[in-house]
Amino acid sequence: MIPLDIITSNPGKLREFEAALRPLGFEVRHRPEEVDEIQADTLEEVVLACLTELRERKLTNFVLDDSGLFIDALKGFPGVYSAYALRTLGCDGVLRLLEGQEDRRAHFECCIGCSLERIGSFTAQARCDGIIAQSPSGSRGFGFDPIFYPEGRTITFGEMGLEEKNEISHRGRAIKSFVLQLQKRMGSVRQ
Say which of 5, 65, 66, 145 is annotated catalytic: 66
pLDDT at res. 21 = 81
pLDDT at res. 13 = 84
pLDDT at res. 163 = 87
What does the alpha-carbon distance between residue 159 and residue 154 come to, in Å, rounded to a whole number?
Answer: 10
- Total number of domains constituting the chain: 1
For 160, the domain range is 2-190
What does the alpha-carbon distance between residue 184 and residue 14 come to, in Å, rounded to a whole number?
Answer: 24
Contacts of 78 (CB under 8 A, 6+ apart): 68, 69, 70, 71, 84, 85, 86, 89, 94
* pLDDT in 10s for each residue of the chain, 191 residues: 778 899 988 888 888 888 878 887 888 999 988 888 888 999 999 999 999 999 999 998 999 999 999 999 999 999 999 999 999 999 999 999 999 999 999 999 999 999 988 888 999 999 999 999 999 999 988 899 999 999 999 999 999 998 899 899 999 999 999 988 888 887 765 55
66 as an active site residue: the answer is yes
Q: Are 172 and 165 in contact (CB under 8 A)?
A: yes
Q: Which amino acid is at 175?
A: I
pLDDT at res. 190 = 57
The CATH number assigned to the domain holding 37 equals: 3.90.950.10
Tell me the DSSP string of 88-144: HTHHHHHHHHTTT-S--EEEEEEEEEEEETTTEEEEEEEEEEEEE-SS---SSS-TT
